[in-house]
Every structure is written in C-alpha cells, then in structure tokens.
Amino acid sequence: MTSRRTLADREDVLGGVMLAPALAYVVLLVGVPFFLAIALSFSNATAGSLSFQWTGLGNYAAILRDPIFLRALRNSVVVTVGTQVLVIILATAAAQVFRATFRGKRVARFVMLLPWAVPVSLAAIAWTWIFDSTFSVINWTLKATGLLHGWLYWLGDPALALLAIIIVQAWRIFPFATVIVLASLSSIPQEILEAAIVDGAGFWRRLFQIELPLLLPVVAVAVLFGVVYTATDLGVVYILTGGGPANTTHVLPTLAFQRGILGADLGQGAAIAVFLLPFLIVVAIAMLRVARRAEVGGAAR
Amino acid sequence: MAGIEIRNLRKQFGDLPAVDGVNLSIRDGEFLVLLGSSGSGKTTLLRMIAGLEHPTAGEIHIGGERVDGDVPPRARGIAMVFQSYALYPHRTVFQNIAFPLEASRTPRNRIEEKVRWAADMFGITRYLDRYPRQLSGGERQRVALCRALVRDPKVFLLDEPLANLDAKLRNTARDDLKQFQRRIQTTTVYVTHDQVEAMGLGDRIVVMEHGKVRQVGTPQEVYEDPVDTFVATFVGQPPMNLLALRDASLPPGTLVGFRPEHLLPRNVFGPGEELATFRFAVRRVEYLGSDRYVYGAVAESAAPEATIIAKLPGTIPLTIPEGETHEFAVPRRLLRYFDADTGLRRRP
C-alpha cells in the first residue's frame, strides 16, 4: 500500500488537467478565429498582405449599400425561416408515424436517419442532379404524372433556386428534428394522452391542443439548433447554386466566402460573416426564454 | 344513466391472460368497486369498459348498447379519472374542465356555465385561473372529478383516484366522493387495491385475482361470507384466521376460519352463546390504541406453530400477559368452513 497521493486523489488539480484539452480547443479553434473575424471586420485587411489599417465601421457601411449583400441577407432569412417551418411540419408528422408500431419500422427509421449521416457535399452534389435543368427527376416525375406542363429550371430561376435550397436544408435537418420530437412525445405521460381520448378529443385536437403545447419547450430548442445550423451553412448553397444565377441566391456565408476568400477582401468578408451574429444571439435568447416559459407554465406536473 | 353488462370478457397480453372470462352485471346508478392486488386484471377490465383497451373476446354493453367492437371512448358515454389525475399541465383549471366540452363543440356560454357549476359543486371556483402544478393533491383530484362530471357521463370510471393522496386527506376525499356519487346517482366503477376504500365506498365489491372474479357482493357479504380462502384472507385487516383443527366431528380436509375480532377471551361471552373454545398461547401483544392485536398459537390446531391473531377492542380492558396460555373462544355462528384443497367454502 502506498500512502502517496496520486493525481486521481487531488480533485482540484485533476479537474484542471481534464478540462485542459477542451479549453484549449475552445480557445484556439473557436475563440481565436471568432474574435479575429470580429477584429478583421473593422479593418481593410486583404488575403494578400499582412499589414492592414483599422477602418472602423467602413466595411459595414459598404455592405449595407451593396444590393448583393442586401439580397443575400434577405435570402438568409428566407431560407432559415422557410427551412424551420418545413422541418417542424415534417418532423411532427414523421414523429406521429414512427410512434405507431408497424412492420419494417426499424428499417424505415434507419432510412429516415440517413440524411443526417451523409456528408453535406455529397448530398448537395446528388441534389444538383435532382434539380438539374435537363435531367431533373422531379420534373420527369411531375411530367409523367401529368402535374407539370411546362418545364421548371430549378437552379436557374432565383425563386425556384431558393425553394430548392430550402428543400435540401430541410432534408438535412429533418431527421434530427424528428428524433427530438419523437423523444419528447414519448416523455408525455401516457395517461394525459388517454385522458384526452376519453374526453372525446379527436386526432387533430389532441395534436394541436395537447401534444404540441407540451412539446413546445423541446421543439423550441430543436428550432434554435436548426436556425443556427441553416443560417451558418455554406456547403449546400455553395455547391447547389454557387450564389447564382447572377448573385441572386447568395446567403451570408457564401457571400462572405466569395468576398473574403475568393475576392481576397478579408475585411468585408468578415463584416458579412459577423453581420448576423447579433441577430442570432437575440433569436437564441428569445427561443430559450420561450422554452423556459413553456416549461414553467406547464411541463412540471 | 345506464347499467353495464359484461359477458365472458377476456384480454390476453401475449401469453398472459390479464382478464380471464369475466361476467359482471353492473346496475344502473350503482357504485361498484373492483378490488384486487396489482396484476389482478382490475385496471385492464376498467380500461376495456373505457375503450382504451380492446378485448380479446367477450362483450361489453353500456346502457343496452354493445360497445366492445369499434365504439370509441368518446361515444361510450363514459368519463374517466386516472390515478395521476392526468390534468393537462399547460391548461388552467378552467381550461382543463372545459376541454371535454370543447371537444364536443359545446357553445361557449354553455361551457362557461357548466364549468362554473361543476367547480362550484367541488368547491374549487377560486382555483379556476390556476395551473395544475399550483394545486395540492386533493385539489387536483377534485379538478379531475370536475372534468369528468361536466360531460354528463352515463358511467364514471375511476382508477385509484385516492391512491396519490396522503392518508389524512383520503378519509375526507372518500366521504366527498361517496356523497357526490349519491347526489348525481351515476353508475360508477371504481378500481382500487385498498380494501378499506372498497368497503367504505362500494355498494357492491368485485374481488378479482389473476384476471378472474372471485366474489361479487355487498361489503358485508364479502366480509362475512367470503366464498373462498382467497377472499377471506384478502379482505379484512388483519386477515381471517384459517385453522386446520384436530376435530373428528369435521370432515377431513376442512379449514375453519374466523375473524380476529371474533376471537376473544372466553369469559367475555355471555352464557347463552354457543362457543368454540381454544387454548390460545399468547406470544406477543401489540397495543394500537383503539385495539390490541394478540399474536399466538392455538393448541387444537393441526399446525400448532401457525400464527393466529386476535383483535381485542379497547373496550375489553383485560390484561393479557405475554407467554401465557388463555382460554379464548369464537361464537360458533361466526365460524366459516373451507375445503383445504380447493379453498372453496364448505357447509359444516
């Protein structure tokens, strides 16, 4: 028996040691780039040289006068909000389906989860084919079923291209949202759902007046994740449309990449990238408050 | 208002028969208690009446109408109160009580009227704007009853509604419940594992075990004339004493049963009473305030070490020293005889 104190006995030191890797990761790979981006957005730095000057709010003033930026800002909002709406509807519906027991449920659930596991770039490339101007399987299907008479240029028309982006983003987030809704559905006490049945409530009344209000805290958190996830995503738009046609489908991350990296104007790129930050923080706080309020107002029995 | 007819009802969960051929006739306006331990099938039976569970076989008729097929719970004219009360946590008390009315598309002013009427009946009018979590257990229970009441059901189904209340509240809640049922005279089926509740509330009690009905009867019938040893020992606290006596006058394989409160010191009985006398070796005396439980063994028993309990009311002030043998007796008219093999009641 040794009486020497080992590292495992010294909780004060042990805690620090075990936290260190995570702290280093957050500081070096998240914190530094984050604050660097904020700093760069107030400068005229370019990708080609190490010297730069502070320009105050110059970059922000410039992008706010830029119609392409304003368009990208609008697109970001449309895509983010549109995606969340679509995801909530789909995920709630899918959760209802997966709550029932049926043959092949495991397989169906596996297939449903697949989009979550597919790398963004691969998925986006597959989707470019689905939306291809000549070979679009969507168009062929619509034609074959007689629902479409003309021809849809999915990625060539600005409005359709935005819709396409929303569809792909929703497709990506939907599995995650479904799992969350499913989990919180199963946390609603069975007796409450049975009470609603005995009280004479039909499916829709149970869904809208009992289940969804009780799901609200969890759905709010899922939406918050979805908002951040979509608002900051670069890959889908970059591969699907590249911001085109004619810069009409840029979202803020792709425009920031185009200006800051491809266009070498680091300062302006940083300003575009950082622009949404205050709004996202406000959204996050608001959603978390909704979740908390709903929880205090209800979930505790 | 309606009675319930249950014929040959069965419910199978996999290999397990939860309800195993139940026949039951519940009268209009009756307060019927399903009494059994957990796993006896009492709750499954209630849920089948409610329509939350589909019977494997058999028939259920409510008010003369067969409902066991595809009649959904809302069309059965029933209201149910759950053990957890199952109040909607995100709705106020008012909204909770109004929910069944909204579901049946009752006009708004009529809803208001009915909710106030029900809340008034249970004395919870001042809580109408609160949320369930702001209420005590007893108040929640009354909200649940209100919610059931406003539907004007033909049948009330109650699943252990007092189980979550603390013991102090349970007595008054039981009294409230019985008064309420007497007033509205709606057929009520009440599930419980608590025999005191069953005795106190039921017009009749159905004793269940392993999915089967053991006995149906008034509390007095079930207590005084149990049909078998299961009912005899399940109902009553402490349970009925069962003895195999070394007595040649009884047919072999007979158990003699008597209630602990009927086993008393011999000298408390008057001279006219026909008595069965036992030599009772007192092991321990438990003082419980209103009663004393006397634990011991009976020398006449074929299994002399088996524990026999006597329950002496506080009105018999005799001292019973531990470790001594006394003459105890039971009036012969209070002895019950059972078959040791089948457990069934036997004529002496």
The answer to whether residues B142 and B290 belong to one domain is no
pLDDT at B306: 87
The answer to whether residues B132 and B157 belong to one domain is yes
User: Within a domain: residue A51?
Assistant: no
List the single best residue of A197, A199, A203, A292 to mutate versus B (max B Cβ within 10 A). Answer: A199
Long-range own/partner contacts, residues B51-55 (CB < 8 A, 24 or more apart): B51/A198, B51/B76, B51/B78, B52/A194, B52/A197, B52/A198, B53/B11, B55/B9, B55/B10, B55/B11, B55/B19
Q: CA–CA separation, A36 vs A28, rounded Å? A: 11
Range of the domain at B173: 4-233
B83, B89, B103 member nearest A200 (Cβ): B103
The answer to whether residues B149 and B87 belong to one domain is yes
Residue A214, chain B, CB below 8 Å: the answer is yes
Residue A93, chain B, CB below 8 Å: the answer is no
User: Within a domain: residue A289?
Assistant: yes
Residues above pLDDT 90, as percent of chain B: 62
Q: Both tokens of residue B303? A: 């299994």
User: Within a domain: residue A74?
Assistant: yes
Residue A128, domain CATH:
1.10.3720.10
pLDDT at A262: 86
The answer to whether residues A107 and A11 belong to one domain is no
Please tell me the number of Cα atoms within 13 Å of A108 on its side-chain side.
Answer: 12
The answer to whether residues A5 and A113 belong to one domain is no
User: Within a domain: residue A67?
Assistant: yes
Q: Side chain identity at B74, as an amino acid letter?
A: R
User: Within a domain: residue A258?
Assistant: yes
H-helix segments, chain A: 11-25, 32-40, 58-64, 67-99, 105-117, 120-130, 137-144, 158-185, 190-198, 203-205, 212-231, 235-240, 252-257, 266-275, 277-294
What residues of chain A lie within 8 A of the CB of B147, using their CB?
195, 199
pLDDT at A143: 79
pLDDT at A295: 61
| Residue in chain B lying closest to A204 (CA) | B103
pLDDT at B338: 93
Q: Pick from B233, B251, B274: which residue ends a domain?
A: B233
The answer to whether residues B290 and B192 belong to one domain is no
Mean pLDDT per 10-residue interval, chain A, length 301 residues: 72 87 92 88 80 82 87 91 92 88 85 85 86 80 78 80 90 90 88 92 90 86 86 86 83 87 84 86 84 58 36
Residue B219, domain CATH:
3.40.50.300
The answer to whether residues B226 and B320 belong to one domain is no
| Residue in chain A lying closest to B83 (CA) | A191
What residues of chain B lie within 8 A of the CB of A216, using their CB?
90
Q: Pick from B182, B211, B233: which residue ends a domain?
A: B233
| Residue in chain A lying closest to B99 (CA) | A199
What residues of chain B lie within 8 A of the CB of A299, using their CB?
89-90
The answer to whether residues A151 and A11 belong to one domain is no
A205, A294, A299 member nearest B103 (Cβ): A205
Residue A16, chain B, CB below 8 Å: the answer is no
Domain count, chain A: 2
The answer to whether residues B101 and B166 belong to one domain is yes
The answer to whether residues A66 and A33 belong to one domain is no
Residue A74, chain B, CB below 8 Å: the answer is no
The answer to whether residues A107 and A29 belong to one domain is no
**Residue A215, min C-alpha distance to chain B (Å):** 11
The answer to whether residues B87 and B213 belong to one domain is yes
What residues of chain B lie within 8 A of the CB of A211, using their CB?
none
Instruction: Give the length of chain B.
Output: 348
Interface of B with A (CB under 8 A): 50-52, 72-74, 78-80, 82-84, 86-90, 99-100, 102-104, 131-133, 147, 151
> Which residues 6+ apart lie within 8 Å of B297 measured at CB?
B280, B281, B283, B304, B305, B306, B307, B308
Residue A30, chain B, CB below 8 Å: the answer is no
Residue A204, chain B, CB below 8 Å: the answer is no
The answer to whether residues B222 and B247 belong to one domain is no
The answer to whether residues A96 and A151 belong to one domain is yes
User: Within a domain: residue A131?
Assistant: yes
Q: If DSSP codes are grouped into helix, strand and coil, which group holds residue B69?
A: coil
The answer to whether residues B89 and B183 belong to one domain is yes
Q: pLDDT tens string for chain B (348 positions)? A: 589 999 999 999 988 899 999 999 999 999 999 999 988 999 999 999 999 999 999 999 999 889 988 899 989 989 999 999 999 999 999 999 999 999 999 999 999 999 999 999 888 999 999 999 999 888 999 999 999 999 889 999 999 988 888 888 888 888 888 988 998 899 999 999 999 999 999 999 999 999 999 999 999 999 999 999 999 999 988 999 999 887 778 888 889 999 999 999 998 888 888 898 999 999 999 999 889 999 999 988 888 788 999 999 988 888 888 888 989 999 999 999 999 888 899 876
Tell me: ipTM over 0.85.
no
pLDDT at A2: 59
List the single best residue of A198, A214, A292, A296 to mutate versus B (max B Cβ within 10 A). Answer: A198
User: Within a domain: residue A85?
Assistant: yes
Please tell me the number of Cα atoms within 13 Å of B103 on its side-chain side.
Answer: 29
pLDDT at A234: 86
pLDDT at A300: 41
Q: Pick from B181, B205, B233: which residue ends a domain?
A: B233
User: Within a domain: residue A48?
Assistant: no
The answer to whether residues B298 and B214 belong to one domain is no
A199, A213, A297 member nearest B131 (Cβ): A297
| Residue in chain A lying closest to B153 (CA) | A199
Residue B334, domain CATH:
2.40.50.140
Domain count, chain B: 2
Range of the domain at A33: 1-40
